[in-house]
Amino acid sequence: MGLFSRPSPDDDAPPAPTPVGAFWGWWADDGRHLDPAQAGPEHAALDGLLSAIDPDLTWHLGPGRSAEHRLTVSAGGLAAARPAAERWFRAAPPADTTWEYAPAVEADPAAFGAVLEVDGAAVDLSAVVLHVETDLEDLRVHVGVHHPAFADLPERVHGPVTFMVLDWALGEDDVARWVGRVEPSTTATASPRSVDDLRAAVAVCAAERDPDAWSALSGQDAEGRPVFALARTGARWIDRPTLDLHHALTATFAPDERGLPSPGDLGRLQALDDSLAATMEPRGLVLANVTTNGTRTLHVYTDGEDQNAADDVTRWADDHGLRAASTPDPGWTRVRHLLG
């Protein structure tokens, strides 16, 4: 090769759009002209373009609140797909008089006047009966869903119908935010509750929650050694759905006979906690630290598509002598046992 080379024509070509960019480019040219009431080639194109973003995404066309139509893209309750729906939504054009957009199914009280056809049977949603149990310690509402038709419908459809009921009652994101245990039931509860009762229970939890609240936790590991944790128990992954990359940063110290730090080491570890929070927030979120057996592990989440944030975490860990391990974790499963 000569000292000076001529760039190939491809060197000046613009980069290929991301799947999200490809979707919104198509939407601007063609998609926004589709007829929501009539299937056509645009509907098939919409399927393919959303599948390229994430194969678990689904979509729905319906009336908007302030626009004529709404395009909803949903993760279907799957935490792994919710970041993709959020990134799709954040790249959307501003709503106008014709179209608005949503990254999750929103509550629809009118749905409870509808009759669904499920596996060949008519399911009148006005006959839904709920069991509602509020857990104020974890700020969760545990729900049982009963419909008389469950007795005759195959068990495989009970779950999907149950989650449709919850989505229409609360909206997909509030189901993730507030609902704990969910159980379809073929028998009516002894204390029947309505959809309005469920919403009221969620409102109580919402009024009690401080998103920035921290709690001190303690327990033992499998060998009986003490474990102490400090966790941001007011946080919910659904409030920051694109923070889907988990970083575990581990510091070591000389443990006492119980595996815990001396007062001097405790001050050093606290300084690490403060330094990490100052470095990463608001681009990332420190959710917990766990201290046991000569180690303190700090748990922080960043946006998996923000390489700069991930680099900042790695650089901070290197500068402070901590081991770092990063793993994709939409839904914050690695710390959920700490958050409640």
Domain that holds residue 183: 109-208
- Is the pLDDT at 1 greater than 80, yes or no? no
pLDDT band at 55 (very low <50, low <70, confident <90, very high): very high
Same domain, 50 and 125: no
291 occurs within a structural domain: yes
pLDDT in tens, 199-241: 999 999 999 999 999 999 999 999 999 999 999 999 999 999 9
Short-list 182, 134, 180, 191, CA closest to 162: 182
Same domain, 160 and 68: no
Write the DSSP symbol of residue 9. Answer: G
Short-list 88, 72, 69, 86, CA closest to 25: 88
8 occurs within a structural domain: no
Q: How far apart are the first and last CA of the chain?
A: 62
Same domain, 28 and 144: no
3 occurs within a structural domain: no
pLDDT in tens, 252-271: 999 999 999 999 999 999 99
pLDDT band at 328 (very low <50, low <70, confident <90, very high): very high
Q: Which of 25-29, 186-190, 327-331, 333-337 has the lowest mean pLDDT?
A: 186-190
pLDDT in tens, 277-326: 999 988 999 999 999 999 999 999 999 999 999 999 999 999 999 999 99
2 occurs within a structural domain: no
For the chain, what is the mean pLDDT?
Answer: 93
Q: Domain count for the chain, please give it.
A: 3
pLDDT > 90 fraction of the chain, expressed in percent and rounded? 86
252 occurs within a structural domain: yes
Q: Helix-strand-coil percent breakdown of the chain, rounded to 5?
A: 35, 25, 35
248 vs 85, 161, 231, 301, CA distance in Å?
26, 38, 14, 9
Alpha helix positions (H), 6-151: 19-29, 41-53, 82-90
Same domain, 95 and 128: no
pLDDT band at 120 (very low <50, low <70, confident <90, very high): confident
pLDDT of residue 3: 44
Domain end (from 102, 124, 153) = 102
Same domain, 270 and 154: no
**φ, ψ at 182 (rounded to 5°):** -130, 130
In our burial notation (b when 16+ CB lie closer than 10 A, e otherwise), range 148-164 reads ebbeebeeebbeebbbb
Residue 206 is encoded by which pair of tokens? 């919402």
1 occurs within a structural domain: no
141 occurs within a structural domain: yes
Same domain, 150 and 91: no
Same domain, 263 and 321: yes
- Is the pLDDT at 183 greater than 60, yes or no? yes
Domain end (from 81, 102, 123) = 102
Domain end (from 152, 186, 208) = 208
CATH number of the domain to which 331 belongs: 3.30.70
